[in-house]
Structure 1
Amino acid sequence: MKNLLYLFFLMHCSAYAQGDSLYVSGRFLFNKNNEKIILKGINYSVLDDWSFPSNMNNGNERLSEIEKTKANTVRIQWYNDYGQPTRPTYNLTHLDSLLTRCARYKMIPIVGLWDVTCGNDWATFATRITNWYTQPAVINLFNKHKRYSVINLANEFGYYNYVGGTTAALNTYKNNYKTIITTIRNAGYKQPIMIDAPDCGTNPDVLIAVGNELLTHDPLHNIIFSVHSYWISITGNDATAIANKVQLMVNSNLPFVFGEISNYQSDATACQYVLNYQALLNNLQTQQIGWLAWNWQYDACANREMTSTGLFNNLGTFGLDITNNSTYGLANTAIRLNSTFGNATVLATTALQLHINCNTGNNIGLKIDFNNIPLQQNIILQTSTDNGATWQTQQQFTHTSIDGSIVINNVNITTATIFRAALTNGSRLSNVASCNTTTSNTKIYPNPVNQQIKIEANSIGWATLINSNGKTILQKAITFNNSIDVSHQPNGWYILKIWHQQNNSFSYHKIIIAH
């Protein structure tokens, strides 16, 4: 018994040791704080919306509408190459913005490539899928969002029953995914890899057969298996047959999620079959298995669009049930965990956030962070020398996206100057920043530190841990009394940078980690 407990401890610590991403343990997904997550959300075919990405500049992309359902995850359709030259151009900057907004709305983004949907050519997979994920710019993008993202390698790729259900077909599927897992991990990805079932995503039996081997092959053991429930030929609409199929997944103790659940199945024609999705969702609620509804908008089968306009206030019958059903609806069962997103929560604080660097003498530095700011409104920097009784505009800035930052260097000040940012129409104001308030009463202890470092600050704000190479290791919101866990950091010296919200200034503290 003692040995078994020790083995369990080692397995748990192995998963937790990743530290900076979601991780899988048993059949469940957890965040960095070891909180269990049941994924419940919606598929978003963003690139089938040809008004994207231009609609991001006026705030009309649909994540803000999807957020109103209370979903805790969004599966984002992406393409290496959409394949139609008339489709408006999109790039990684637009994907970065989508992932940032998902974090703001506390929805876990699952990004997948649709280039080889329902395909079986592994050479094409290598050129269209693997090669895309291993580009340095793509790696850097996903590393930026690794704490809360999931990578769904490719939508519905690979055949088994479609090519006779042979042992050779099973091994081809398994061994190719082993190679891909190795390549993706060697590229530096830490977050969970989601692998779709073969036969256009519908075949969980293959995943049950090879899942443990794929998990063992992954050095991080961080894989989620996804099934798409277009099951007319597998279970028909029989609730018992559906429940039996789900029970096999539960018995496997593998981390399953239903990546697509819908009310209709399209085969020879759109909307060919009506699906008993309600029986499936009732069962998944009991079994604590996650799922994502197909689809928010833009589908050849209009009946399975949750909303025909993309707006929450136009939810159709399917959309209303997915959102509001008392047993399985998103609004009643999806749980969002703010801790999943770490320092990304700063995006939700205010539309304008002003930061100040008081360490450069009379010529200070300022940064304005902004989100959801209309392009029609310019951002202005204002100063006051009478403690905010009157304000004068110092500089005015235009912006080309609704999210971003403005850096202002070498601002000349007097000892009485205070700053704020605002919109030209006065509808938004930032916090007030000044270099006049001391932060000398901030206490950091113990130092050297082994496990937890205690912070006693005169105001709430953010703490950033920076290693001796200048790399940010972690960032955490702090209140007046907080602790930061450094037990997983290597021995050495670090800088703890603390932003004090009260006066928007920084203090810096050298600490030693010694285990």
Structure 2
Amino acid sequence: MRKLLKIMLILCAVCLLAGCRDNRSAASAPAGAEHAGLYVDGTQLKTAEGEPVVLRGINHAHCWYRTSDETAFAAIADTGANCIRIVCACGIQWDSDTAESVAEAIERARQLGMLAIVEVHDGTGDNSIDTLKKIAEFWCGIADVFEGTEDHCILNIANEWCGKRSADIWRDGYTTVIPMLREAGIKNVIMVDAPGWGQFGRAAAKAGVDIFESDPDRNTMFSVHMYGLSGGSKRRIRRNLTASTDRNLCVCVGEFGYKHSDGDVKEDYLMQYCEEQNIGYLAWSWKGNSGGVEYLDLANEWDGSVLSADWGETVINGEYGIRATSKPVIAAGSP
């Protein structure tokens, strides 16, 4: 009897675990399909011509330091970065960007040979789907900006929306807003940050395929931010990324530091693992950090003439850093 009870308890536990995971895999892009620009094909991001793209880039706080854009963009391009993640605002917390300011930032990146990844920062840590909808409405309102940028711009809808480690809230929010963006005519690759302030990458095991399949274009990728919680050990780094790749979903590390308020980060291993697995990474951030996290500045000067010894030198000049591993995606000044 005890043996039978033990077996039944084990079976119940297995069933409960199965209910927390989605063992489906996302479908890859149809063979021979034509694409207007960048597109997602299984675990890979590709150019319109079908060449794999591995993101190697840096975050820049555009919406707080707009007057430094010209200097910062040029300096980031000089590191060899093939992309730049551009922090924008929609007016919920900070002065809103406009269609003109977003278009200018995207074009500045293109002229310097970098893909532009634009995101709105106002919903950081927010759990309200209404907030996410307001951010989506901002993008829909400037949808014309994205026309013709499909080969050099990715839309990272909202930075770290959904502070809770909840795959359900995360799924419900993004399955609501992604169709809105497509209905507005935006054809670019969409990037979705993980919940849990971007660090709960394992949520993709439960809800990633649902979010991917809510996109009528099946052109959505995912991003995990790696600080102490998600990047504090080799095992956590792998688990937070394989939650996506094991389900044939494309993922990158959209932000990471070498330490943060929640602990140390295994940044050397993170960069090595990303290089070995052809996974993109973007370091946080070029300059302008404050409030006790100034150590996350990669550069001590906006022009990059002096890099921070503990952080900037590692990301840019390290063994698995940007200079050693970045490959161009678009040519500077390309039409």
Task: Name the TM-score class by shorter chain.
Answer: 0.7 to 0.9
**CA distance in 2 between partners of 1:105 and 1:314 (Å):** 21
Equivalent in the alignment of 1:253: 248
**CA distance in 2 between partners of 1:72 and 1:36 (Å):** 13
Count of residues in correspondence between the two structures: 306
Residue among 137, 156, 163 paired with 1:131? 137
Equivalent in the alignment of 1:401: none
Using the TM superposition, give the Cα deviation of residue 311 of structure 1 relative to its aligned residue in structure 2, in angstroms.
Answer: 1.9
Contact 1:114 1:155 (8 Å CA) reproduced? yes
**CA distance in 2 between partners of 1:217 and 1:82 (Å):** 26
Deviations along 1:407-428, one digit per CA (max 9) or x if unpaired, are xxxxxxxxxxxxxxxxxxxxxx
2:30 is equivalent to residue 26 of structure 1:
no
Secondary structure of 1:215's counterpart equals helix
Q: Percent identity?
A: 24
2:96 is equivalent to residue 80 of structure 1:
no
**CA distance in 2 between partners of 1:155 and 1:109 (Å):** 15
Contact 2:228 2:264 (8 Å CA) reproduced? no
The change in CA–CA distance for 1:229 and 1:10 in structure 2 (over 3 A counts) is closer
Using the TM superposition, give the Cα deviation of residue 242 of structure 1 relative to its aligned residue in structure 2, in angstroms.
Answer: 3.1
Equivalent in the alignment of 2:334: 345
- Aligned letter for 2:303? L
Contact 1:302 1:308 (8 Å CA) reproduced? no
Contact 1:323 1:331 (8 Å CA) reproduced? yes
Using the TM superposition, give the Cα deviation of residue 252 of structure 1 relative to its aligned residue in structure 2, in angstroms.
Answer: 2.5
**CA distance in 2 between partners of 1:266 and 1:203 (Å):** 16
Residue among 305, 311, 315 paired with 2:303? 311
Using the TM superposition, give the Cα deviation of residue 216 of structure 1 relative to its aligned residue in structure 2, in angstroms.
Answer: 2.0
Query: Structure 1 segments of 4 or more deviating over 4 A?
Result: none
Q: Which runs of 5+ in 1 are unaligned?
A: 1-7, 162-168, 268-272, 347-515
Contact 2:175 2:214 (8 Å CA) reproduced? yes
Using the TM superposition, give the Cα deviation of residue 11 of structure 1 relative to its aligned residue in structure 2, in angstroms.
Answer: 1.8
- Aligned letter for 1:174? R
What are the within-5 Å matches in structure 2 for residues 55-70 of structure 1? 60-70=70-80
Equivalent in the alignment of 1:296: 286
Using the TM superposition, give the Cα deviation of residue 244 of structure 1 relative to its aligned residue in structure 2, in angstroms.
Answer: 4.5
2:166 is equivalent to residue 147 of structure 1:
no
**CA distance in 2 between partners of 1:46 and 1:321 (Å):** 23
Equivalent in the alignment of 1:228: 225
Using the TM superposition, give the Cα deviation of residue 303 of structure 1 relative to its aligned residue in structure 2, in angstroms.
Answer: 1.1
Larger radius of gyration: 1
- Aligned letter for 1:279? Y
Secondary structure of 1:47's counterpart equals coil
Equivalent in the alignment of 1:41: 57
Equivalent in the alignment of 1:158: 162
2:218 is equivalent to residue 206 of structure 1:
no
**CA distance in 2 between partners of 1:216 and 1:287 (Å):** 24
Using the TM superposition, give the Cα deviation of residue 9 of structure 1 relative to its aligned residue in structure 2, in angstroms.
Answer: 9.8
Secondary structure of 2:175's counterpart equals helix
- Aligned letter for 1:64? A
Equivalent in the alignment of 1:456: none
Using the TM superposition, give the Cα deviation of residue 92 of structure 1 relative to its aligned residue in structure 2, in angstroms.
Answer: 2.7
The two structures have a TM-score, normalised by structure 2, of: 0.84
Using the TM superposition, give the Cα deviation of residue 243 of structure 1 relative to its aligned residue in structure 2, in angstroms.
Answer: 3.5
Using the TM superposition, give the Cα deviation of residue 126 of structure 1 relative to its aligned residue in structure 2, in angstroms.
Answer: 1.8
Secondary structure of 1:125's counterpart equals helix
The two structures have a TM-score, normalised by structure 1, of: 0.56
Secondary structure of 2:138's counterpart equals helix
**CA distance in 2 between partners of 1:312 and 1:171 (Å):** 41
Using the TM superposition, give the Cα deviation of residue 285 of structure 1 relative to its aligned residue in structure 2, in angstroms.
Answer: 1.1
Higher helix share: 2
Using the TM superposition, give the Cα deviation of residue 28 of structure 1 relative to its aligned residue in structure 2, in angstroms.
Answer: 0.4
Contact 1:226 1:259 (8 Å CA) reproduced? yes
Larger RCO (CA within 8 A; separation ≥ 6) = 2
Contact 1:208 1:254 (8 Å CA) reproduced? no
Secondary structure of 1:134's counterpart equals helix
Contact 2:257 2:284 (8 Å CA) reproduced? yes
The change in CA–CA distance for 1:314 and 1:148 in structure 2 (over 3 A counts) is same
Secondary structure of 1:150's counterpart equals strand
- Aligned letter for 2:88? W
Once the two structures are overlaid, the 10-residue window that deviates more, 273-282 or 253-262, is 273-282
Secondary structure of 1:254's counterpart equals coil
Q: Which runs of 5+ in 2 are unaligned?
A: 1-26
Equivalent in the alignment of 2:109: 102
- Aligned letter for 1:310? W
The change in CA–CA distance for 1:306 and 1:207 in structure 2 (over 3 A counts) is same
Deviations along 1:231-273, one digit per CA (max 9) or x if unpaired, are 43x56x3334433544444322210111001112135xxxxx3
**CA distance in 2 between partners of 1:110 and 1:303 (Å):** 23
Contact 2:38 2:45 (8 Å CA) reproduced? yes
Using the TM superposition, give the Cα deviation of residue 278 of structure 1 relative to its aligned residue in structure 2, in angstroms.
Answer: 1.1
Q: CA RMSD in A?
A: 2.3
2:276 is equivalent to residue 286 of structure 1:
yes
